[in-house]
Amino acid sequence: MELIKRNTDYALRALVHMAETANDTIHPLGELAAVTGAPETFLRKVVQKLDAAGVVATRRGRGGGVCFQKDPDVITVLEVVEAVQGPVAINKCFVSNRECAGRRDCLIRRNLGGIQTDLTDLLREATVGTLARRASQA
């Protein structure tokens, strides 16, 4: 089981790269694809999700590209993961609880739910800004 899928990996790489320049710099997808190693068409989908989530803004046309819509210091890793991969859940039931039908006594819901909270808290502690600063040190 991998917590971070390829699309989130690409997203984090792109965001950290962006955080290493001035926040209002516009980065065309081609540049982000090159630096992240992601196929450009695939990265575009990822960026669209970050856009929909309000993490980045995009501009079309000549001189267009991607820039931050928020300060990288307030963009949490959780936010990025959820934007590109969808919800982080302990099991299917914590995504849509219709799955629980007929199992109201389920031990997962009753006993492991707390782990979900602890996990999301962990992912909320790291921000793109802190990652970028640590990444730029030797």
Among 21, 74, 103, 113, binds its own copies (CB under 8 A): 103
Contact call for residues 73 and 18 (beta carbons, < 8 A): no
Least gap, CB of 137 to DNA (angstroms)? 28
Residues 6 or more apart whose CB falls under 8 angstroms from that of 132 comprise 15, 16, 19, 20, 72
Cβ distance to DNA smaller for residue 89 or 115: 89
Nearer to ligand FES, 45 or 103 (CB): 103
Per partner kind, with CB cut-offs from 5 to 8 A, the member of DNA, its own copies, ligand FES, none near residue 7 is: DNA
Q: Is 109 exposed, middle or buried (CB count within 10 Å of its CB: 0-12, 13-18, 19+)? A: middle
Residues numbered 27-46 forming contacts with DNA, rule: CB under 7 A: 28-30, 38-39, 41-42, 44-45
Location of structure tokens 């389920």: 106
Residue 49 near residue 10, CB atoms below 8 Å: no
Q: Which does 30 bind (CB under 5 to 8 A by kind): its own copies, DNA, ligand FES, none?
A: DNA
Cα(41)–Cα(23) distance, integer angstroms: 24
Separation CA 38–CA 6 (nearest Å): 9
CB of 115 to ligand FES, least distance (A): 12
Tell me which residues touch DNA (CB under 7 A). Answer: 1, 5-7, 28-30, 38-39, 41-42, 44-45, 47-48, 51-52, 58-66, 85-86
